[in-house]
A and B are shown apart, each in its own frame.
Chain A
Amino acid sequence: MEQIPVTHYLVLSTVLFCLGVLGFFIRRNMIALLMSVELILNSVNINFVVFNRFLYPENMEGVFFILFIITIAAAEVSVGLAITINLYRKFKSIDIEETDQLKY
């Protein structure tokens, strides 16, 4: 992996990030929104690994950042899905255009 310049990895992670952002704004289904957030977090993880390996190989800080990002992403997705399931029970739909009322 020494012949591939660092910028090619960063192009991959940028494209993933922008696809995640696009999906987050376009999608109407709430579960699809959470999947787009996962794409964003994974693109950031690729960035951390690339910078840690190619620019600062004597440290391990990037690895720990990724560890905690994965942990927090798991917690966040599970809470988001619990909220989605609860919302489905009230509105019988998880389309964000249709679930547009607060509680009272």
Chain B
Amino acid sequence: MKPEIVIFYIVSSFIVGLAFLTVFSRRIFRAAVFLLFCLLGIAAIYFMLDADFLAALQIVIYVGGIVVLVIFSIFLTHQSGEKMPRAKIRRWIPAVLLSLISMFAILLVVFTSGFKRSEQVWQVLSVKEIGHQLFDFTNHGYVFPFEIASILLLSALIGCIVIAIQIRKSN
């Protein structure tokens, strides 16, 4: 029993447990912190799968950007501290049924379709290769989605400022 296998099962149960706590926790601040550790666990999975660049990206952007933004907005909407009310029963039962049925349907497909591993070896991601293909015009290059993503980020930035701004009247 190699240690990598044991570590994978420990980390994945950590991730699932924290995701469960995120979804069912009644205090919003604790849910944000559980989400933070869940995303760190997912970064650990990326490290184990030899995708170091993606793990670093996940930690920097998701954990260090998005969850911090969520925590700031929890402070700005004065939510931390109180227990949130539970959802009504009328909402719980169809949601749980839908989620369980879809999980079993997806697992059925996953276990009945044979995923054959390829024999080739995966090279550890090198940032140079990613950069070459990201800015390539030909040969399945990704320069066009990259430019569109930068326009999207600019418009999201401007949109957030416009939506959340508070214009004080100067009297």
Q: Determine if B77 and A88 form an interchain contact, defined as CB atoms under 8 angstroms apart.
A: yes
A-B contact count (CB 8 A): 222
Interface size on A, residues (CB 8 A): 69
Q: A39-B35, A39-B38, A78-B69 are in contact. Are A27 and B117 (CB under 8 A)?
A: no
**Assembly CA distance A48 to B72 (angstroms):** 30
Of A6, A39, A95, which is within 8 A of B19 by CB? Answer: A39
Which residues of B, 16-68, contact A by the 8 Å Cβ criterion? 16, 19-20, 22-24, 28, 31-32, 35, 38-39, 42, 45-46, 48-51, 53-54, 57-58, 61-62, 65-66
B10 within 8 A of A: no
Q: Determine if A25 and B98 form an interchain contact, defined as CB atoms under 8 angstroms apart.
A: yes
**Assembly CA distance A79 to B73 (angstroms):** 12
Of A21, A38, A39, A82, which is within 8 A of B159 by CB? Answer: A82
Contacts of A26 in B (CB 8 A): 23, 87, 91-92, 95
Q: Determine if B54 and A63 form an interchain contact, defined as CB atoms under 8 angstroms apart.
A: yes
Q: Which residues of B contact A (CB under 8 A)?
A: 2, 4-5, 8, 12, 15-16, 19-20, 22-24, 28, 31-32, 35, 38-39, 42, 45-46, 48-51, 53-54, 57-58, 61-62, 65-66, 69-70, 73-74, 76-79, 84-85, 87, 91-92, 94-96, 98-100, 102-103, 106-107, 110-111, 115-118, 120-123, 125, 129-130, 133-134, 140, 142, 145, 149, 152-153, 156-157, 159-161, 163-164, 166
A-B contact pairs, 17 of them (CB 8 A): A8-B8, A12-B16, A14-B103, A14-B107, A19-B16, A27-B23, A28-B85, A29-B84, A49-B49, A54-B117, A55-B116, A58-B120, A70-B62, A79-B156, A79-B159, A81-B70, A86-B163
4 nearest A-B residue pairs (beta carbon): A25-B95, A23-B23, A75-B156, A57-B122
